[in-house]
């Protein structure tokens, strides 16, 4: 993962901070425009890349990002 962190800017987060970011993202997603949803997903992704966490929290963050990616895919599919 260190290679990813060296690749560019991230948002430094802890697991509780990433969960809060995800909560805000999921709360806003139903009303968001496509551009807003994409920007929110990118922001959350940068938070994930900047996550400083133990192994358990890292695993939970990976699952959270899988769910987030799935929601974005569902949204894109429904928008055609």
Q: What is the pLDDT of residues 8-32, one digit of tens each?
A: 788 999 999 999 999 999 999 999 9
CA distances from 5 to 46, 48, 64, 70, 77 (A): 10, 10, 19, 23, 31
| Segments forming the whole domain that contains residue 61 | 2-79
| Alpha-carbon span 78 to 37, nearest angstrom | 14
pLDDT of residue 3: 53
| Alpha-carbon span 1 to 5, nearest angstrom | 7
pLDDT, average across residues 43-54: 95
CB neighbour class for 47 (10 Å; exposed up to 12, middle 13-18, buried from 19): buried
If one counts the domains in the chain, the total is: 1
């Amino acid at each position: 993962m260190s290679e990813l962190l060296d690749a560019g800017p991230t948002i430094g987060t802890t697991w509780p901070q990433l969960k809060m970011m995800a909560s805000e993202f999921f709360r806003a997603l139903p009303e968001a425009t496509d551009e807003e949803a994409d920007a929110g997903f990118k922001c959350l992704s940068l938070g994930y890349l900047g996550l400083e966490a133990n192994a358990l929290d890292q695993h939970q963050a990976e699952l959270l990002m899988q769910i987030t990616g799935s929601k974005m895919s569902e949204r894109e599919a429904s928008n055609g």
